[in-house]
């Protein structure tokens, strides 16, 4: 019988106990000869194969569990590493069998293999620390530090009765190498000991959370089995080795548990300095506390501490700054010669707008600083701007008035607002048109969407001669159609692509000879689409008429109608320009250009298209439109002339006839949404808040369910909670859009003829999860740059409902809206105020910063009502809609001390917020009051009686006493 047959018999009969002796009896070269046979056998027995029977699908392997184990260990004996890893998962090895084999044979690759497995995220169950030490002692492996730190944590724990974990420190004494060498690896290599310690904190049935590893290390250090001074040093040095926060924190906790003595701390100052550089706060704080204990000792490296102090003082963690100040105070007491340097460093604390920190630094300077020291005076002077008023008072002896220094710098720094309109270059040659077409789908500029159809209309006659140059643009458009919507394209990019494909079809139809390249490309894509489109799917390359988003969002209606109009003009070879094409960034139409375009229409006796006309009116630059009244009077006739004059004359009244109902309504809303004349409002059935955006809003409590871990029941449970939500009252039930049946019927039977401007009617965010809206938002806002309020109402109502963003779509929409607002100079209405207010309370810093910039701009241009914004924020904070800290952080970092004018507006804002806050102090109220104190002090204002009386309810709160006292004092003055 051959060896192959013999092994097969053993395998088939599952004679497990005979397997290892069988191989042991074979010389190595014979075992090597068995390899091809074993490879086939493993494939046959171990591979899982599909099994279909009685309609069900299962996967099975041929081998029984016993046979699988036999094959795995046979492979261990005979295979090289590559072959072994191909057929065997490490989890299939059995320690007993491997030990039995290792008695007489060890593969050359064994040590490397085990070490590499030890680096995996999860250790195989057989790979215990004890086994690793055993095989290491036999010289079969040189375990890596990574393997040891993975395996060792479990050595301390055993399972006792009822599967309860038991911590047994004596296990650490089983092998001398454990305490001698291996425990130090925990401080040198990234490991998971802290997690093991945390998850098994209740071992031994202890109720109190405790770290058994730490206790064990402390016990053996106390008993002298571990070098205590090395343990102390290593636990501090670990924080300088770029470990994660938890691992550094664990080592620091061990250090604290060991309660180092003063002499020990003195001997390990290098390690303590190393901990000061740690990016995590816990080791830094612990090291600072340690230094505080030894700061009085002559052996303490005081110079080193003074050198390290500037970095510590710039920490974002206030506790570190406070601890540093406290340490510096102690050093200054002991070392008079260092006082000046210490006072200079302490000044850095004034960059933190926190009363407690600044006061502590100021008291240190007051206590140790020499009033005649030039260095201290210079340092104090350089930090004067961020210094709080109360601190300035404390440090008044150190503040030297400099005649050349402008003490009211704020007044001299007006905030720059650029009102200069930037002209949009119009392509004036076919080549420029080609390059515009090739980049139009990238949304490089929001106006490219308008510019491309306008340029095509103007150069329609010349296009056939350059038609082949459009192939790259057509290729991009077709690709966009095939790919559909992606996260990097907006719906409007797709819409423009569909328009361009339709236009190219027209070109091909009219000029077959000049468009062979276009035609070939189109056929290629149509073929590709036919091959790849599933039967159930609508064609992806379709006409512009049938374009719609999947949720049929009405908000894209105006853009689609404009492109359809352009396509019709191109089909009819009409060269009349579109009225709505913007001439200045971001989307304004210059008044004279609008007048001249309309004049052309009248000369050609051509009625303007409604959507085009409406968008043109909405985009008309009204900043200096009155200048163009004479031009309008002399150029335009009839009702359109009246309309344009009404639009451009701020004080003008509408002159009948009013046959263009919707246009009059839109013109009035564009010109002055807050004062739409009654005769115009009679022309429409649209509720006025859909025109001026003045929707009411309120808060409601929403009940929601969340999964939480129940510590007692030790499982996740569903818990009902409540949270406030912001509701904008759109009254959608009473307002029926025209495309609904009820809307249609109400129009049919209306007592008088009423119209609604289409672009206002289509401002509805139907799909809350429109992921492309962020990319489209700027272009949507550019439809009506003079009156963005209705659009903002949708943004606030749909995306700022909660105090945090529910998804990236909402965040993208709000960010894009705020960014677009920065480039417009529209008056801020109710919805602008609501948007700015809610964005100031946002969890996203960028959104907050944008809101801050809009506030700065609004105050500078006097379009922002600080009272109203204060009311809005106050109402939200009264119910703690969002943590007050968000607002105080923004106030401190972005809004304070922008200019004197801004500080006055800030004071108004804060007055309004404070009187709306509840009698029970909300979290972080102290910080808000500190900012308030700063602002009124800087402004030299007094506190209004209403604010003062509202503050009385907070006097019982101890933490507010100081700041309320200061505010009270100011009032008396």
Partner 1 sequence: MSETITYKYSYPSSLVRDVSDDQLFLAKYSEVQKKDAPCFFWGRLKDPYITARCLIGLSNVVQSSFNLSPFQLALLRDPIVTAGNEKIRFEGFSHCAGVYARVDILPGGHDGEFPANGTTNVDFNQPMISALGSINRNENVVLSVGRTEVAIAKADTRIVERKVPLPTKWIKGLTTVQLFLAEAEKAFSFNRVQALQLFQSLPNGKPKADYYLITRGAKPSFSPVKSGSAICIGGIHRLRLLEPLIPHADELRVFAHPQMQSTTWQLYFGNVRFCLSLSRDFWRGFSGEGAALESLIEDVPDTWIDSIDKYGYANQEFNPTLLAIEEGVDMKKIQNVTGRLSAMGLLGYDLDENHFFYRRLPFKLGRIMSLNPRAKAAEQLILEGKVDIIQRSDNRVEARVEGSGVRHVVILQGDHEQCTCMWFSQYQGERGLCKHILAVKKKLIS
Query: Can you give the binding site for partner 1, defined by CB under 8 A?
Result: 237, 240-242, 270, 273-274, 277, 301, 303-304, 307, 310-311, 313-314, 348, 351, 382-383, 385-386, 409-410, 412-413, 415-416, 418, 431, 434-435, 438-439, 442, 444, 468-469, 471-473, 475-476, 517, 521, 524, 815, 819, 822, 845-846, 849-850, 852-853, 893-894, 897-899
Q: What's the rounded Cα separation, in Å, for the pair 82 and 962?
A: 73
Nearest residue (CB) to partner 1, 549 versus 839:
839
Q: State the pairing for strand pair 715-728/697-710.
A: antiparallel
Nearest residue (CB) to partner 1, 310 versus 484:
310
Q: What's the rounded Cα separation, in Å, for the pair 467 and 650?
A: 46
- What is the closest distance, in whole angstroms, from the C-beta atom of residue 897 to partner 1 in the complex? 8
- What is the closest distance, in whole angstroms, from the C-beta atom of residue 352 to partner 1 in the complex? 8
- What is the closest distance, in whole angstroms, from the C-beta atom of residue 113 to partner 1 in the complex? 20
Q: What's the rounded Cα separation, in Å, for the pair 523 and 964?
A: 77
Nearest residue (CB) to partner 1, 370 versus 819:
819
Nearest residue (CB) to partner 1, 590 versus 898:
898
- What is the closest distance, in whole angstroms, from the C-beta atom of residue 337 to partner 1 in the complex? 14
Q: Of 312, 334, 314, which is closest to residue 323 (Cα–Cα)?
A: 312
- What is the closest distance, in whole angstroms, from the C-beta atom of residue 856 to partner 1 in the complex? 8
Nearest residue (CB) to partner 1, 209 versus 416:
416
For residue 828, the 8-state DSSP code is P
C-alpha separations of 330 from 270, 292, 324 in Å: 20, 7, 10
Q: Exposed, middle or buried, 12 (CB in 10 Å: 0-12/13-18/19+)?
A: exposed
Q: Which two tokens stand for residue 106?
A: 């060890």
Q: What's the rounded Cα separation, in Å, for the pair 759 and 556?
A: 9
C-alpha separations of 559 from 73, 488, 491, 780, 824 in Å: 71, 19, 11, 9, 20
Nearest residue (CB) to partner 1, 521 versus 647:
521
| DSSP secondary structure letters along 151-176 | HGGGGGEEE-GGG-EEE-GGGGGSSH
Nearest residue (CB) to partner 1, 475 versus 575:
475
- What is the closest distance, in whole angstroms, from the C-beta atom of residue 903 to partner 1 in the complex? 13
Nearest residue (CB) to partner 1, 429 versus 949:
429
Nearest residue (CB) to partner 1, 166 versus 351:
351
* Alpha helices (runs of H) in 370-418, residue ranges in sequence order: 374-382, 389-394
Q: Of 825, 874, 822, 798, which is closest to residue 555 (Cα–Cα)?
A: 798
Q: What's the rounded Cα separation, in Å, for the pair 683 and 754?
A: 5
- Contact between residue 849 and residue 886 where contact means Cβ atoms under 8 Å apart: no
- Contact between residue 855 and residue 895 where contact means Cβ atoms under 8 Å apart: yes
Q: Which two tokens stand for residue 930?
A: 């500190």
Q: Of 599, 587, 757, which is closest to residue 680 (Cα–Cα)?
A: 757
Nearest residue (CB) to partner 1, 305 versus 558:
305
Instruction: Give how far the C-alpha of residue 121 lies from the chain's centroid of Cα atoms, to the nearest Å.
Output: 29
Secondary structure element (H or E) that encloses residue 52, with its range: strand 49-53
- Contact between residue 236 and residue 274 where contact means Cβ atoms under 8 Å apart: yes
Nearest residue (CB) to partner 1, 321 versus 915:
321
- Contact between residue 851 and residue 842 where contact means Cβ atoms under 8 Å apart: yes
- What is the closest distance, in whole angstroms, from the C-beta atom of residue 887 to partner 1 in the complex? 15
Nearest residue (CB) to partner 1, 128 versus 516:
516
- What is the closest distance, in whole angstroms, from the C-beta atom of residue 304 to partner 1 in the complex? 5
Range 366-371, long-range pairs (CB < 8 A, 24+ positions) = 366/394, 366/395, 367/329, 367/332, 368/329, 368/332, 368/333, 368/339, 368/342, 368/343, 369/339, 369/340, 369/343, 369/398, 370/339, 370/340, 371/397, 371/398
Nearest residue (CB) to partner 1, 347 versus 660:
347
Q: Which two tokens stand for residue 230?
A: 């090395």
Nearest residue (CB) to partner 1, 416 versus 651:
416
- What is the closest distance, in whole angstroms, from the C-beta atom of residue 505 to partner 1 in the complex? 17
- What is the closest distance, in whole angstroms, from the C-beta atom of residue 8 to partner 1 in the complex? 41
- What is the closest distance, in whole angstroms, from the C-beta atom of residue 567 to partner 1 in the complex? 22
Kindly report the backbone phi and psi dihedral angles of residue 737, in degrees, each rounded to the nearest multiple of 5, phi listed first: -60, 155
Beta strands per DSSP E along 792-928: none
Nearest residue (CB) to partner 1, 350 versus 613:
350
Q: What's the rounded Cα separation, in Å, for the pair 833 and 232?
A: 57
- What is the closest distance, in whole angstroms, from the C-beta atom of residue 189 to partner 1 in the complex? 10
- What is the closest distance, in whole angstroms, from the C-beta atom of residue 303 to partner 1 in the complex? 6
- What is the closest distance, in whole angstroms, from the C-beta atom of residue 330 to partner 1 in the complex? 19
Nearest residue (CB) to partner 1, 103 versus 385:
385
What's the 3-state SS for 759-817?
HHHCCCCCCCCCCCHHHHHHHHHCCCCCCCHHHHHHHHHHHCCCCCCCCHHHHHHHHHH
In sequence order, what are the residues at sequence separation of 6 or more whose Cβ sits closer than 8 angstroms to the Cβ of residue 447? 424, 582, 585, 586, 587, 782
Number of H helices, E strands in the chain: 50, 6
* Alpha helices (runs of H) in 192-301, residue ranges in sequence order: 193-199, 212-222, 228-237, 245-257, 262-267, 269-276, 281-294
- What is the closest distance, in whole angstroms, from the C-beta atom of residue 379 to partner 1 in the complex? 9
Q: What region does 205 belong to: left with phi over 0, alpha with psi -120 to 50, or beta?
A: left
- What is the closest distance, in whole angstroms, from the C-beta atom of residue 271 to partner 1 in the complex? 8
- What is the closest distance, in whole angstroms, from the C-beta atom of residue 267 to partner 1 in the complex? 14
Nearest residue (CB) to partner 1, 471 versus 877:
471
State the sign of the Cα–Cα–Cα–Cα dihedral 317, 319, 324, 329: positive
């Amino acid at each position: 019988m051959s060896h192959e047959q013999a092994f097969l018999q053993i395998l088939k009969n599952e004679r497990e106990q005979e397997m290892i002796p069988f191989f042991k009896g074979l010389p190595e070269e014979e075992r090597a000869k068995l390899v091809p046979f074993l490879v086939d056998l493993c494939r046959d027995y171990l591979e899982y194969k599909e099994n279909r029977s009685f309609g069900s699908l299962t996967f099975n392997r041929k081998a029984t569990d016993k046979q699988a184990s036999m094959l795995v260990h046979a492979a261990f004996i005979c295979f090289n590493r590559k072959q072994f890893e191909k057929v065997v998962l490490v989890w299939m090895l059995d320690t007993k069998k491997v030990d039995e084999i290792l008695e007489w044979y060890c593969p050359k690759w064994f040590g490397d293999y085990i070490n590499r497995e030890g680096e995996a995220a999860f250790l195989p169950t057989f790979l215990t620390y004890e086994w690793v030490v055993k095989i290491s002692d036999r010289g079969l492996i040189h375990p890596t530090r990574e393997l040891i730190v993975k395996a060792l944590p479990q050595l301390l724990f055993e399972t006792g009765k009822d599967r309860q974990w038991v911590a047994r420190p004596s296990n650490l004494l089983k092998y001398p190498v454990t305490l001698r060498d291996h425990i130090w690896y925990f401080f040198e290599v990234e490991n998971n000991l802290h997690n093991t310690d945390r998850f098994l904190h209740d071992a031994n049935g202890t109720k109190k959370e405790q770290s058994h590893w730490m206790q064990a290390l402390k016990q053996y250090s106390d008993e002298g089995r571990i070098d205590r001074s090395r343990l102390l040093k290593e636990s501090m040095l670990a924080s300088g080795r770029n470990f994660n926060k938890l691992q550094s924190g664990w080592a620091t906790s061990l250090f604290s548990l060991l309660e180092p003595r003063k002499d020990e701390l003195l001997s390990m100052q290098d390690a303590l300095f190393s901990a000061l550089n740690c990016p995590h706060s816990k080791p830094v704080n612990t090291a600072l506390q340690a230094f505080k204990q030894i700061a009085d000792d002559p052996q303490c490296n005081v110079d080193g501490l003074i050198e390290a102090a500037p970095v510590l003082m710039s920490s974002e963690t206030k506790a570190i700054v406070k601890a540093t100040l406290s340490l510096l105070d102690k050093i200054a007491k002991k070392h008079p010669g260092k006082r000046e340097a210490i006072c200079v460093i302490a000044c850095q604390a004034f960059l933190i707008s926190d009363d407690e920190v600044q006061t502590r630094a100021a008291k240190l300077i007051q206590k140790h600083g020499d009033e005649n020291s030039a260095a201290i005076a210079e340092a104090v002077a350089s930090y004067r701007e961020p210094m709080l008023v109360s601190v300035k008072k404390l440090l008044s002896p150190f503040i030297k008035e400099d005649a050349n220094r402008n003490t009211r710098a704020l007044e001299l720094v007006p905030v720059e607002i650029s009102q200069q309109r930037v002209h949009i270059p119009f392509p004036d040659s076919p080549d420029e048109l080609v390059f515009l077409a090739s980049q139009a789908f990238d949304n490089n500029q929001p106006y490219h969407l308008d510019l491309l159809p306008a340029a095509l209309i103007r150069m329609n006659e010349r296009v056939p001669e350059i038609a082949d140059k459009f192939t790259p643009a057509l290729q991009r458009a077709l690709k966009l159609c095939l790919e559909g919507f992606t996260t990097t394209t907006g719906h409007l990019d797709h819409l423009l692509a569909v328009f361009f494909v339709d236009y190219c079809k027209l070109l091909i139809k009219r000029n077959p000879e000049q468009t062979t390249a276009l035609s070939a490309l189109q056929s290629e894509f149509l073929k590709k689409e036919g091959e790849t489109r599933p039967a159930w799917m609508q064609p992806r390359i379709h006409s512009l008429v049938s374009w719609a988003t999947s949720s049929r969002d009405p908000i894209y209606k105006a853009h689609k109608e404009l492109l359809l109009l352009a396509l019709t003009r191109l089909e009819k070879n009409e060269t009349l320009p579109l009225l709505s094409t913007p001439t200045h960034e971001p989307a304004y139409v210059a008044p004279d250009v609008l007048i001249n375009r309309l004049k052309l229409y009248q000369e050609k006796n051509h009625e303007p298209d409604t959507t085009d006309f409406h968008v043109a009116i909405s985009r008309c630059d009204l900043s200096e439109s009155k200048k163009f009244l004479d031009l309008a009077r002399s150029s335009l006739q009839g009702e359109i002339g009246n309309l344009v004059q009404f639009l451009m004359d701020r004080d003008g009244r509408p002159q009948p006839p009013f046959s263009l109902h919707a246009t009059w309504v839109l013109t009035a809303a564009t010109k002055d949404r807050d004062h739409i004349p009654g005769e115009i409002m009679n022309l429409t059935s649209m509720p006025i808040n859909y025109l001026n955006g003045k929707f009411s809003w309120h808060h409601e409590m929403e009940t929601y369910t969340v999964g939480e871990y129940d510590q007692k029941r030790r499982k996740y449970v569903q818990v009902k909670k409540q949270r406030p939500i912001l509701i904008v009252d759109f009254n959608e039930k009473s307002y029926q859009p025209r495309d609904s049946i009820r809307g249609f019927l109400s129009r049919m039977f209306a007592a008088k003829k009423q119209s609604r401007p289409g672009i206002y009617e289509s401002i509805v965010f139907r799909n809350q999860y429109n992921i492309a809206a962020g990319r489209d938002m700027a272009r949507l806002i550019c439809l009506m740059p003079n009156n963005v309020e209705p659009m903002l109402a949708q943004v606030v109502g749909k995306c700022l409902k909660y105090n945090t963003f529910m998804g990236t779509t909402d965040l993208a929409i709000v960010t894009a809206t705020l960014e677009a607002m920065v480039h417009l100079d529209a008056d801020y209405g109710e919805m602008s105020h609501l948007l700015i207010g809610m964005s100031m309370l946002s969890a996203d810093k960028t959104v907050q910063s944008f809101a801050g910039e809009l506030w700065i701009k609004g105050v500078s241009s006097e379009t922002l009502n600080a009272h109203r914004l204060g009311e809005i924020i106050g109402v939200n904070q009264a119910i703690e809609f969002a943590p007050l800290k968000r607002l105080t952080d923004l106030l401190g970092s972005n809004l304070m001390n922008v200019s004197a004018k801004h500080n006055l507006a800030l004071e108004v804002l804060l007055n309004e917020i404070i009187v709306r806050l509840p009698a029970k102090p909300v979290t972080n109220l102290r910080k808000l009051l500190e900012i308030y104190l700063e602002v009124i002090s800087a402004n030299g204002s007094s506190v209004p009686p209403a604010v003062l009386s509202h503050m009385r309810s907070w006097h019982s709160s101890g933490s507010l006493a100081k700041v309320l006292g200061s505010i009270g004092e100011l009032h008396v003055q």
